[in-house]
Amino acid sequence: MAVIDPIVQGILLGGLYALFATGLSMIFGVMRLVNLAHGDLSILAAFLALVTVRVTGLNPLLSLALVVPAMFCLGFLLQRGVLNFTLGRGVLPPVLATFGFSIIIQNLLLEAFSADSQRLNPGGIETASIALGDRLAIGWFPLITFVVAVLVLVGLQIFVSRTSLGRAFRATSDDQDAAELMGINNRSLYGLAMAISLGIVAVAGVFLGIRTTFVPSSGPDRLLFAFEAVIIGGLGSLWGTLAGGVILGVAQTIGAKLSPGWGVLTGHLVFLAVLLWRPTGLFAGAMKRSR
Amino acid sequence: MAADRTVRRGDEAVPVTPPAFAVARSTLASRIGAVVGAVLLVALATLPLWGNASLMRMLIEFISLLVLAQMWNLLAGYAGLVSIGQQAYVGLGGYALIVLADDVGLNPFVSVFLAGLVAAAFSIPTAALVFRFRGGYFAVGTWAVAEVYRLLIANSPRLGSGSGRTLAAVFPLARETREVLTYWLALVIAVGAILHGYLHLRSRFGLGLTAIRDSEPASESLGINVFRTKLWVYVIASFGGGMTGALIYLNLLRISPDAAFTVNWTAFMIFIAVIGGIGTIEGPIVGTVVFFLLREFLADYGSWYLILLGLIAVVVVIRYPQGLWGLIADRWDVRFFPVQRRVRLGSRPVG
């Protein structure tokens, strides 16, 4: 049971990582943009939830009803107002602009909320668990997170493959110029893609804030975990991203079990090993869309 | 070329006038700049005689940031390698200094150069991993590897784990001696970095690198080995980063993994290079001045200087991609470090 426990916890943690990774991966697929502020935006969402809870007294899970639309709008404005102007001009502008936003968001949060660690309290559910046998228990909240992650992935899959808007996403992803010729307005499509990405990452940020404590500088780690989940799973594969997140989560919990300081490090090392052994990821080619 | 060169046209030889042009590699500004630079260098070298310790400390910091920005400029501005992981080499250089000076027992000032070599040695296996990524993913990949180095050191009790270590090797030296030697070392590194960048970019290698900056496929088709050139730039930038990291911690004396491997180092490099102007040698110098001015003016307002720098950098990236120096150079056509070859028509050819 000592082995099974960290694996089960790791799988559930992987669901949260997949939630972080989905938006990052989708943005790259649609517009070839790597959003370096992705993690910081998720932490911004967690702080937004914190403020909402303080002001309205709502449960943090209910605060999602405000935070997700807010982040959705922010994503649209960010893309239309700034990031669209960085596209199509080489590698440097989008990386520098999003990295600039990463530093700006981190330091604005630091000035507004200080470096104290914060936590969202949903009133008991975060500690409730289901006992499975004597030594194994599954927390309700990690289970809910995992289910939500799967639902988001299923929803996104249906959206991309079944709706006409999803078809436009795929078309732009395949060939931006051809899509434009077919009457798709790439610029507004990008705005919508960033809005969806930030809507999803807002959920991830709030769930993170319930699960563990967070500080203004928690963002970069979230970006790295999301990135690693995407690369382990293979670019452009939604279910690969979930598998990547699960592998990363299991590696981290097993590593932390071996030695407390080694959790995150083991995750990074597994990522590097996959990169060395299989640079295209473990489940690449499932959709063959990116690159 | 002789003026009496002829070509045969039918039966008679027709004299040809030689093309009236010259390739100019220096500018008026660069010749004036060389004189001003020499005077400035003498003034800076004799600073310990007429300046004070706080001025020296400030200049060491100025030089550290300038060299770091210059290295990032070489990476991103020329080789198209947009790294967000250069803090790895600052940290590795700093820790290499402590190990070489305290544990191995080498001279701490010599160790600063050796620390650069250690960082360069680490950069090769790192490149083997991160060169698998392109563009934006290269940026995140380098960042992830920098985190691996930080965590490995934070988990090494011999290197002081998370709380870090103190450089003990310089304790026997009198404080003034240490400060003056560190300052001179910084000056040597600054001159070396700028001259190296300048001469390197004027060389055949620099020509190839500039071609890669302008178009990778075109330069590849002209016979430039793009991969080898990029790798070489990455190793050089890591050497420079490592040496500067060692210099920083020779000055600070106290190192910890979180401070040595913070992504803020790369943020400073990027903001300085971008605001000053990417792809020029003058740009980072201008950028470092702007950085220092902003930080001094906003010294009482916490991290607002960083927020403002970030905002300026985003605006510059989108509206003025050539940076401050690019605006100045285009407006008045001044270049203190001309790396380009200019054709001057109407003058005698030069050899």
Q: Does the pLDDT of residue A289 top 50, yes or no? A: no
Q: Does the pLDDT of residue A263 top 60, yes or no? A: yes
Q: Which of residues B109 and B332 earns the better pLDDT score?
A: B109
Contact between B336 and B8 under an 8 Å Cβ cutoff? The reply is: no
- Residues in chain A with CB shorter than 8 Å from the CB of B307 are 103-104, 107-108, 111
Beta partners for residue A130, in sequence order? A138
Which residue from A207, A219, A200, A205 is spatially nearest to A72, judged by alpha carbons? A200
Contact between B155 and A261 under an 8 Å Cβ cutoff? The reply is: yes
pLDDT score, position B9: 64
Most confident of A75-79, B209-213, B276-280: A75-79
| Average pLDDT for B231-246 | 95
pLDDT score, position B26: 72
pLDDT score, position B347: 53
A166 is written with which tokens?
């999803």
Instruction: Give the dihedral sign, CA A257/A260/A262/A266.
Output: positive
B6-9/B12-15 β-pairing: antiparallel
| Average pLDDT for A264-280 | 89
Per-residue pLDDT band at B248 (split at 50, 70, 90): very high
Which residue from A132, A142, A139 is spatially nearest to A13, judged by alpha carbons? A142
Fold for B33-339, please state it.
Answer: ABC transporter involved in vitamin B12 uptake, BtuC (1.10.3470)
Longest dimension (CA), chain A: 62
| Average pLDDT for B38-50 | 85
The count of CB pairs under 8 A between chains A and B is 126
pLDDT score, position B340: 67
Q: How far is CA A132 from the centre of its chain?
A: 29
pLDDT score, position A169: 87
B21-24/A129-132 β-pairing: unpaired
Report the share of chain B in percent with pLDDT over 90. Answer: 53
* Chain B interface mutation, best of A78, A86, A92, highest count of B Cβ atoms under 10 Å: A92
Q: Which of residues B315 and A176 earns the better pLDDT score?
A: B315
The total number of residues written for chain B in this structure: 351
Cβ contacts of A219 within 8 Å, gap of 6 or more: A37, A39, A40, A41, A42, A43, A102, A105, A106
Closest-CA residue of A relative to B125 is A276
Q: What is the mean pLDDT of chain B?
A: 87
CB-based contact B151 A223, cutoff 8 Å: no
Q: What is the mean pLDDT of chain A?
A: 89
Report the share of chain A in percent with pLDDT over 70. Answer: 97
H or E element, residue B284: helix B282-297
Q: Among partner residues B302, B304, B317, which is closest to A93 by beta-carbon distance?
A: B317
pLDDT score, position A291: 35
The total number of residues written for chain A in this structure: 291
- Listed by start position, the domains of chain B span 33-339
pLDDT score, position A285: 54
Closest-CA residue of B relative to A101 is B310
Q: How far is CA B288 from the centre of its chain?
A: 12
Per-residue pLDDT band at A211 (split at 50, 70, 90): very high
| Average pLDDT for A252-262 | 90
Q: Among partner residues B148, B303, B317, which is closest to A268 by beta-carbon distance?
A: B148
Supply the ipTM of this predicted assembly. Answer: 0.90
* Eight-state DSSP code of residue B85: -
pLDDT tens digits, B146-188: 999 999 999 999 999 889 999 998 888 888 899 999 999 999 9
pLDDT score, position A125: 80
Cβ contacts of A247 within 8 Å, gap of 6 or more: A14, A229, A232, A233, A270, A274, A282
Residues 247-266 in B contacting A (C-alpha not used; CB under 8 Å): 263-264
The 3-state DSSP class for residue B232 equals: helix
Q: Does the pLDDT of residue B1 top 50, yes or no? A: no
pLDDT tens digits, B9-43: 666 666 666 666 777 777 777 778 788 888 888 88
B261 to chain A nearest CA, in Å?
Answer: 13
pLDDT tens digits, A159-197: 988 998 888 888 888 888 888 888 888 888 999 999 999
Per-residue pLDDT band at B143 (split at 50, 70, 90): very high
Q: Is B54 exposed, middle or buried (0-12, 13-18, 19+ CB in 10 A)?
A: exposed
| Average pLDDT for A37-57 | 96
Contact between A182 and A171 under an 8 Å Cβ cutoff? The reply is: yes
Cβ neighbours around A202 below 10 Å, total:
28
Cβ neighbours around A238 below 10 Å, total:
24
Residue A194: inside a domain: yes
| Average pLDDT for B212-216 | 80
CA-to-CA distance for A91 and B260, rounded, in angstroms?
A: 27
CB-based contact B132 A259, cutoff 8 Å: no
CA-to-CA distance for B244 and B97, rounded, in angstroms?
A: 11
Which residue from A54, A191, A36, A25 is spatially nearest to A121, judged by alpha carbons? A54
CB-based contact A220 B152, cutoff 8 Å: no
pLDDT score, position B3: 46
pLDDT tens digits, A107-122: 999 999 999 999 998 8
B224 is written with which tokens?
């430039």
Q: Which of residues B329 and B232 earns the better pLDDT score?
A: B232
CB-based contact A261 B151, cutoff 8 Å: yes
Cβ contacts of B337 within 8 Å, gap of 6 or more: B30, B33, B194, B198, B280, B281, B282
CB-based contact B136 A95, cutoff 8 Å: yes
B294 to chain A nearest CA, in Å?
Answer: 15
Q: Among partner residues A85, A100, A228, which is closest to B144 by beta-carbon distance?
A: A228
Per-residue pLDDT band at A284 (split at 50, 70, 90): low
H or E element, residue B53: helix B53-72
| Average pLDDT for B113-136 | 93
Q: Which of residues B331 and A194 earns the better pLDDT score?
A: A194
The 3-state DSSP class for residue B33 equals: helix
Q: Does the pLDDT of residue B267 top 90, yes or no? A: yes
CB-based contact A111 B263, cutoff 8 Å: no
Which residue from A156, A174, A176, A289 is spatially nearest to A235, judged by alpha carbons? A289
What separation in angstroms does the CA of A149 have from each of A12, A36, A163, B93, B280? 10, 22, 21, 41, 47
Cβ neighbours around B213 below 10 Å, total:
16
Which residue from A174, A28, A97 is spatially nearest to B319, judged by alpha carbons? A97
pLDDT score, position B19: 61
Per-residue pLDDT band at B231 (split at 50, 70, 90): very high
Q: Which of residues A68 and B221 earns the better pLDDT score?
A: A68
- Split into its structural domains, chain A has a count of 1
